[in-house]
Structures are given as C-alpha cells and as structure tokens.
Amino acid sequence: MKLTTTPAVKVIKDPNVRDYYVCGDIHGMLNPLLAKLRQLGFDPELDRLVCCGDLGDRGWNSYEVAMLLKEDWFESVLGNHEEMALKSLMDSRFK
C-alpha cells in the first residue's frame, strides 16, 4: 500500500443543485487539500465538500482542518481519529 500526501477527492456532478466533492481522510493536510480543490475548480460559493472523517492526527494543520467545520461549504462524518480524541477528552482518568 502506498501512502500519499495529497488527499484523494472525488467530484459528484449534480445538475439540480451544485457540485459535491467527496474527500477521504485529510489527516491535517490542509495545504494539499486546498491545492487539490483549487486544481479541480472548487468554488466555496457554489460547491460543497463532504469528508469521510479523520480530519486530523498526522499532518501539521489538524486544528485548521477542524476549523473548516465552521464553513458552510464543508461537512464531515465522524472518523475513528475524531472518536479516539473525544474518548480521551471524556476519559475520567484525565479529569
């Protein structure tokens, strides 16, 4: 298996609404994600990005990637890395 530093993004065309882009694990790789979206012609005024979780953990910009959740054009499901982070925050041993 080959690991890449550029998130894979799939474009889904919807003629009735706008373009939906679906992205796999970002893992804090904000700059490669934004570069890929620019390359694909992503427009935050017209398009929406849907991520399949794992926003942070390995890259340099996990916090900044998580802040994308505040954007109207960005949506994500909960991934296992987010689940682990939430569990550690709720773990009574750390309170």
Q: Which residues contact residue 23 at a Cβ distance below 8 angstroms, ignoring those fewer than 6 apart?
A: 7, 8, 9, 10, 33, 49, 50, 51, 52
Question: Catalytic one among 80, 81, 85, 95?
Answer: 81
Q: Give the C-alpha separation, 13 to 55, whole Å.
A: 24
Task: Based on the residue annotation, tell me whether 27 is a catalytic residue of this protein.
Answer: no
- Catalytically active residues are 81
